[in-house]
A and B are shown apart, each in its own frame.
Chain A
Amino acid sequence: MIEIRFHGRGGQGAVTAAEILAKAVFEEGKYTQAFPSFGVERRGAPVTAFTRISEEPIRRRYQIYEPKYVVVLDETLANVVNLSSGLQDDGAVLINTEWGKVPSLEEKNIKTYGIDATKIALDHIGRNIVNTIMLGYLSAKTGVVSIDSLIKTIDNTFKGKVAETNIEATKYIYDISKDE
């Protein structure tokens, strides 16, 4: 079973990202489960969300404490929450960062993939919403989900122009990150 944790701020779509990932891997015939950190969410406050992916039906119903991957939508969270909490030894953090480096993760020798997803969002979507883009990045770097099922799910989740630009941005980040 692969367990993934998402960090974002209220309004950035971390919960939606966890659910899109679940729906996308389900398209590939896998079992899945996604849920938010249960709480009183407010715009701007730190939010976590979780996805489980498995070849077998998933029975467990507790929170994720030892994720294989951590996806971070907002690098300012590095100063607020412990992003690598419980991260598995062979795991990695994927983070949206303007600077390419996250000192607090570097200090702990955490395997980190960083990319300026905000710039890609502004260029392609015209708004600073990076949740689908970071899923494209997750797909490129870890292969836990294929880009095809991801795009199909984004297309099913959003409508019209929003779907179109999100797909464009997700494809773009996948292409540039896969070849790195």
Chain B
Amino acid sequence: MVVKVISSAEAISEAVKLARPNVIPVYPITPQTKISEKLADYVANGELDSHYIKVESEHSAMSAAMGASGAGVRVFTATSSQGLAYMHEPVFAAAGMRLPIVMADANRALSAPINIWNDQQDSVTERDSGWIQIYAETGQEAFDTTLQAFKIAENSDVLVPTMVCVDGFILTHTVDPVELLEQEDVDAFLPPYKPTHAYLDTKDPMSLGTLADPSHYLEIRYDLEKALQNSLKVIEEVGQEFGDKFGRYYSLLEEYKTDDAEIILVAMGSICGTIKEVVDKQRENGVKVGLVRVRVYRPFPKDAFKKAVGDAKLAILDKDISLGSGGALYLDAKSCVDNPTYGYILGLGGRDVTPKDIDEIIEKTENPEKDIEWIGLKE
């Protein structure tokens, strides 16, 4: 067992190296660049035997990833913000073609105005694409989730591409201790990918991603939805197996001090670490508050969410907004529970979220005035 003080970007690169992808088509973009640089290093110095494709854009990165995955090999890529937006078209196609690509997204705001800092608008905007989306809270979770992502995506009941989302800078550029795994242990957990269904083979030629007319399209979309629903069970099983093997268990959600909570905060990603500290402090003062961390955002784990929140009042924190409506997580939460639910938009474009902001949200939720509020707005 090796514990290293590294950034999440490096932790993800280490996990990818251990997962031995055959092809890595990638285009650099802040704050993801460290991932593509590290992987280039590993390939160049012989630590990773993989075909590294220096593509000319993110659209090409995902297109090359689809070609490689369609040929039946393990594929990894990474992107962020405008890069993800630019690959929007093939992102949908990769899911529609059921290609189990794994992609890391370093969560960053979208233009305009141009902003390189963290929020989750980029990946949240791709929520309808048919990809599984998992949001990590820490560098350790980023490492562990990257390994799990291949196993989930490649499961024959799933075959859906999977996005590992990490907060840009807050995780990608922050170093803290991460326990790495040994190659032989990872090999046992994650054997090489063997495609069993449709893949390109010169001995048995076929076409992938062809035209489907109105007599077939509806059914194919239905199958994709079914695959995403199947993935809920697989994600839990993989999280359990990972825990049994390596001691760190993962599920669809994380519940923190929710049992007797009257107010439950709901959030995704690194902000949850700060929230846990605030929950502890508020509980010292007798405020019955808890946290549900949504780890898997797509598919949205409706049943687990309903169970986790009970009948508590909900404060949903969104580092994104579906403009003209509300925070995306807020809308998902509201769609599956009848609890009194309040939405808070915060942290957009890298605005720091401090314990004071969380205290304010708890206070506002105790005495709500509006369904949706923005936190930290300057006058």
**CB-defined interface of A137-153 with B at 8 Å, one 1/0 digit per residue?**
00000000000000000
Interface flag for B91 (CB, 8 Å): no
The answer for the CA separation of A35 and B118 in the assembled complex, in Å, is 14
Size class of the contact patch on chain A: 10 to 19
Question: Given that A38-B350, A62-B274 are contacting pairs, would A22 and B173 also be in contact in the complex, using a CB cutoff of 8 Å?
Answer: no
Whether B176 and A62, one on each chain, are in contact in the complex, defined by CB atoms closer than 8 angstroms, is: no
A65 CB contacts on chain B under 8 angstroms:
354
Q: From residue 52 to 69 of chain A, which have CB atoms closer than 8 A to chain B?
A: 58-63, 65
Given A19-B175, A38-B350, are A61 and B5 also a contact pair (CB < 8 Å)?
A: no
CA distance A19 to B31 in the complex (A): 18
User: Given A35-B169, A38-B117, A61-B170, does the pair A22, B274 have CB atoms closer than 8 Å?
Assistant: no
Contact A34-B174, Cβ < 8 Å, known A59-B276, A61-B271: yes
Mask, B354-366, CB within 8 Å of A = 1, is 1100000000000
B177 touches A32 (CB 8 A): yes
A111 to B176, CA, bound (A): 30
List which B161-194 residues lie within 8 A (CB) of chain A: 167, 169-171, 173-177
Q: Which of A19-33 contact B (CB under 8 A)?
A: 19, 22-23, 26, 31-33
Residues 34 to 62 of chain A near chain B (Cβ within 8 Å): 34-36, 38, 40, 58-62
Count of B interface residues, CB-CB < 8 Å: 26
Q: Which one of A23, A36, A40, A59 contacts B274 once the chains associate, using CB atoms below 8 Å?
A: A59
- Please measure, in the bound complex, the distance between the C-alpha atom of A32 and the C-alpha atom of B271, giving whole angstroms: 17
B277 close to A23 (CB less than 8 A):
no
Chain B 137-179 per-residue mask, 1 if CB under 8 angstroms from chain A, else 0: 0000000000000000000000000000001011101111100
In the complex with contacts A23-B5, A59-B273, A35-B175 CB distance below 8 A: yes
Q: Is the CB of A61 within 8 A of B177?
A: no
| Bound-state Cα–Cα, A65 to B356, Å | 12
Is B177 in contact with A38, judged by CB distance below 8 angstroms?
Answer: no
- Chain B contacts of A38 at CB under 8 A? 31, 117-118, 169-170, 173, 350
Of B31, B173, B271, B355, chain A has the most CB atoms within 10 Å of the CB of B173
Q: How far is the CA of A22 from the CA of B116 in the complex (A)?
A: 25
Does B229 reach chain A (CB closer than 8 Å)?
no
Q: How far is the CA of A40 from the CA of B350 in the complex (A)?
A: 13
Beta-carbon contact of A19 and B170 below 8 Å: no
Measured between beta carbons, the chain A residues less than 8 angstroms from B31 are 38
Chain B residue, CB-CB nearest to A18: B175
- Interchain nearest-CB distance for A38 vs B (Å): 4
> Cβ of A62 and Cβ of B355 under 8 Å apart?
yes
Partner of B176, one of A22, A36, A63: A22
- In the complex, are the beta carbons of B116 and A40 less than 8 A apart? yes
- B352 in the interface, Cβ–Cβ < 8 Å? yes
Q: Which of B339-379 contact A (CB under 8 A)?
A: 350, 352-355
Known contacts A22-B5, A23-B5, A38-B350: A33-B176 contact under CB 8 Å: yes
B347 CB to closest chain A CB, in angstroms?
A: 10
B residues less than 8 Å from A61 (CB atoms):
167, 170-171, 174, 270-271, 273-274
| Given A26-B5, A38-B117: A59 in contact with B174 (beta carbons within 8 A) | no
Interface residues in A97-151 by Cβ distance below 8 A to B read none
- Shortest CB-to-CB span from B285 to chain A, Å, is 18
A63 contact from B167, B270, B277, B352, Cβ within 8 A: B352
- Whether the pair A34, B175 counts as a contact (CB closer than 8 A) is yes
Q: Please give, as numbers and ranges, the residues of chain B lying within 8 Å of A26 by CB-CB distance.
A: 3, 5, 177
A33 near B355 with CB under 8 A, answer no
> Contact between B270 and A32 (Cβ–Cβ < 8 Å)?
no
Find chain B residues with CB under 8 A from A34 CB: 5, 174-176
Tell me which residues across on chain A come within 8 A of B170, comparing CB atoms.
Answer: 35, 38, 61
Task: For chain B, residues 102 to 118, give those with C-beta under 8 angstroms from any C-beta of chain A.
Answer: 116-118
- Once bound together, how far apart are the Cα atoms of A59 and B277, in whole Å? 7
> What is the CB-to-nearest-CB distance from A179 to chain B, in angstroms, rounded to a whole number?
31
Are the CB atoms of A62 and B352 closer together than 8 Å? yes
User: From A59, which residue of chain B is reached at the shortest CB distance?
Assistant: B273
Report 27 cross-chain contacts, Cβ distance below 8 Å, ordered by A residue.
A19-B5, A22-B175, A22-B176, A23-B5, A26-B177, A31-B177, A32-B176, A33-B174, A34-B5, A34-B174, A35-B169, A35-B170, A35-B174, A38-B118, A40-B116, A58-B273, A59-B273, A59-B274, A59-B277, A60-B273, A60-B277, A61-B174, A61-B270, A61-B273, A62-B352, A62-B353, A63-B352
Other than A34-B174, A61-B171, A61-B273, give 8 A-B pairs with Cβ distance below 8 A.
Answer: A26-B3, A31-B177, A32-B176, A35-B173, A35-B174, A38-B169, A38-B170, A61-B271
- Spell out B's residues near A (CB within 8 Å): 3, 5, 31, 116-118, 167, 169-171, 173-177, 270-271, 273-274, 276-277, 350, 352-355
